[in-house]
A and B are shown apart, each in its own frame.
Chain A
């Protein structure tokens, strides 16, 4: 019966061949490490956010007078409403953890390099969409931090030349953040996850055309690829188990680690909180915004700090394949950059003082300097590596690659 049904479909739709080609039989480098689990995990988190979000939306009321109470209604009266809400609010943070690790993997192993530029750029678009979704979702519980965070961030659009003021009103639907802002953010918060899902499909189409990168940095010979199923299905499932243990620990035992205390006070336009901080995942960018004394400059620096990743494929000019594994200078740059982001995150979380301003400005300088130095460092490093005897492992990789491209 089952086989007959599948045959019936296959005569009309390429089901079996699609599954075989793109899923079960998809050729995957056998040497992928656990760092390659995070793309799948990001997809999982997206599905979980969609599922919990849709059920939250059944009980949530996007109305400035009702929103805060409706979240409390979810937390107290709806069956397992607290679980839905904690899964969703913790899930947003988890999404960024997973995506940031996924990006760090890409940067460390040079997976953004030719021929994966488009794959990297679709990932960049996914990051921007994720930021927009979280920013809008964070307004919905209508607490003090929701309100003032949205007020501060929408206000940044004032920096737009000529139409700045009108643009801010257009975004908010009113002169200040208010009911009109809440309803439009809710509509878009519901819509964008479906746009992100479509963007994920494009990301995967790009992936399946260039195939996964791997820790060696070069494309493996065909014989070193193995079918995705069962090897990576089981590896992804094991990774999912580990991920869920960490995630569920937060959901069940420390869910309020991701909900700001001030967000349990209803939004009050008359009372500015002493210290407005964005969610942790925006802190490094927020620090860059504040490092520049002038609004327009700050906004440009912040936008650049996110967008500059798109230039990576062109800034890295080395002919040595891969990323930090065989490239000592690039590796130093990678770790320097990682530490710098942590420093920026800390600065972003602190109230402005003389020290944080200086630290923030130095860290912002290092942030951009790391990118701008890359073209030179990658060339210097290439010359340095070529002039010395290459490690045998790298040399055999390069030879193998040369042979295959000669064929």
Chain B
């Protein structure tokens, strides 16, 4: 409901620009993304062990992963000799990346879920949009000219079960990146329900009070 309202509202009034996004909304897969802790932790693992090889996440520190609920052993394994307060810098230098990827440096992922039209749905669609064209060339329907390889192996997956597994991974990754882009979102919504409940209560009281005051308007003496 809220999504629908928002969608109509933004379409009518705000009509966002695609900005730097490559996708047009129509091709995005809007299937629901998980929000539970377990999915975030699974997503963290894929991002730390796979994506982080090429992409930095400069607004995330290893300590944040601990707070999210990733086990200490795993975090220690990922960070190696780096301190818990180190940021998740890319394991590839910019020069090496440019060399490998035709001059582009893989963009930072910590804000990526907010930086593309479609947010998490864009990420999920992008990661699962890899396929082999008829002449055996790797293609991506969401971002056709992307220089990122098919890291989750979507195009090479042969059977439906394997595909489903990759899609589940892509969902966990997207869920984790949504969290990474706005880590206070859960706290925000939680606080928001209390704030709205309080305001609703106050507003009803104020309305009743207003009715009481205005009920005596006929006795109001004229202003001198």
Residues of A within 8 A of B (CB): 25, 27, 30, 72, 75-76, 82-83, 86, 144-145, 222-223, 225-227, 230-231, 234-235, 237-238, 241-242, 244-245, 248-249, 251-257, 259-262, 264-265, 271, 273-277, 280, 345-346, 349-351
How long is the Cα–Cα vector from A260 to B117 in the complex, in angstroms? 9
Q: Are A261 and B196 in contact (CB under 8 A)?
A: no
Of A225, A257, A276, the residue contacting B6 (CB under 8 A) is A257
What residues on A are CB-neighbors of B119 within 8 Å? 261
- Is there an interface contact between B191 and A261, defined as CB atoms closer than 8 Å? no
Supposing A227-B223, A273-B17 touch, asked if A264 and B111 sit within 8 A by C-beta, the answer is: yes
Which residues from chain B contact A265 at a C-beta distance below 8 Å?
19-20, 111, 115
Beta-carbon contact of B15 and A349 below 8 Å: yes
Q: Is the CB of A253 within 8 A of B213?
A: no
Contact A72 B111 (CB under 8 A): yes
Do the beta carbons of B19 and A144 come within 8 Å of each other?
Answer: yes
Q: List 18 A-B contacts (CB under 8 A).
A: A83-B188, A241-B202, A242-B203, A248-B199, A249-B196, A252-B191, A254-B2, A256-B114, A257-B9, A262-B17, A262-B19, A264-B115, A264-B181, A277-B15, A277-B17, A280-B13, A349-B16, A350-B15
* From A82, A230, A241, A260, residue with most partner B Cβ within 10 Å: A241
Mask: chain B, 198-224; 1 = CB below 8 Å from A; 0 = not: 011011001101100110010010110
Task: Give the dominant DSSP class at B's interface.
Answer: helix
Whether A275 pairs with B192 at a CB distance below 8 angstroms is: no
Assuming the A-B contacts A234-B213, A244-B199, A252-B191, are A273 and B6 also in contact, with contact meaning beta carbons closer than 8 angstroms in the complex?
no
Contacts A237-B210, A253-B189 supplied; 20 other A-B pairs, CB < 8 Å: A27-B223, A76-B59, A226-B220, A226-B223, A230-B213, A234-B209, A234-B210, A238-B209, A244-B203, A245-B196, A252-B188, A254-B6, A261-B21, A261-B117, A273-B19, A273-B20, A274-B19, A280-B14, A349-B14, A351-B17
B60's nearest neighbour on chain A, judged by CB, is A76
Number of inter-chain CB pairs below 8 Å: 137
Bound Cα distance from A103 to B192, whole angstroms: 31
* Cβ contact of A82, chosen from B19, B188, B207, B213, cutoff 8 A: B188
Interface residues of B in 162-195 (CB under 8 A from A): 181-184, 188-189, 191-193, 195
Are B199 and A237 in touch, CB under 8 angstroms? no
Report chain B residues within 8 Å CB of A277.
Answer: 15-17
Expressed in whole angstroms, the minimum distance between the Cβ of B198 and any Cβ of chain A is 9
B10 contacts partner chain A, Cβ-Cβ < 8 Å: yes
Chain B contact-residue range equals 35 or more
B209 CB to nearest chain A CB (Å):
6
Q: Is the CB of A349 within 8 A of B20?
A: no
Question: What's the minimum C-beta distance from B29 to chain A, rounded to whole angstroms?
Answer: 18
| Complexed CA–CA distance, A232 and B117 (Å) | 44
Q: How far is the CA of A230 from the CA of B220 in the complex (A)?
A: 11
CB contact under 8 A between A25 and B223, given known A257-B6, A257-B9 = yes
B210/A238 in contact, CB under 8 A: yes
User: B76 to chain A: closest CB distance in Å?
Assistant: 23
- Cβ contacts under 8 Å, A351 to chain B: 17
Whether A238 contacts B15 by the Cβ 8 Å rule is no
Residues on A with beta carbons closer than 8 Å to the beta carbon of B111: 72, 264-265
B103 within 8 A of A: no
**A138 vs chain B, min Cβ distance (A):** 14
| A75 contacts B184, C-beta separation under 8 Å | yes
* Residues on the B chain within 8 Å of A242, using CB: 203
Chain A residues closer than 8 Å to B196, beta-carbon distance: 245, 248-249, 252
| Cβ distance A23 to chain B, nearest Cβ, rounded Å | 14
The complex places the Cα of A30 from the Cα of B18 at a distance, in Å, of 49
Contacts A262-B19, A275-B17 known; A234 to B117 CB distance under 8 Å? Answer: no
Chain A CB within 8 A of B116 CB? yes
**Best-surrounded residue of A27, A223, A245, A276 (most CB of chain B within 10 A):** A245
Q: Name A276's closest neighbour in chain B (CB-CB).
A: B17
Q: Which residue of A lies closest to B116 (CB)?
A: A261
Question: A245-B203, A261-B117 are contacts. A349–B17 as well, Cβ < 8 Å?
Answer: yes
Selected from A251, A253, A261, the residue in CB contact (under 8 A) with B115 is A261
B1-58 with Cβ < 8 A to chain A: 2, 6, 9-10, 12-21
Residues of B within 8 A of A251 (CB): 192
Q: Whole-angstrom distance between the alpha carbons of A7 and B18 in the complex?
A: 63
CB neighbours (8 Å) of A275 from chain B are 17-19
CA distance A244 to B182 in the complex (A): 23
Q: Is the CB of B195 within 8 A of A345?
A: no
CB distance from A99 to the nearest CB of B (A): 16
Alpha-carbon separation in the docked complex, A241 to B10 (Å)? 25
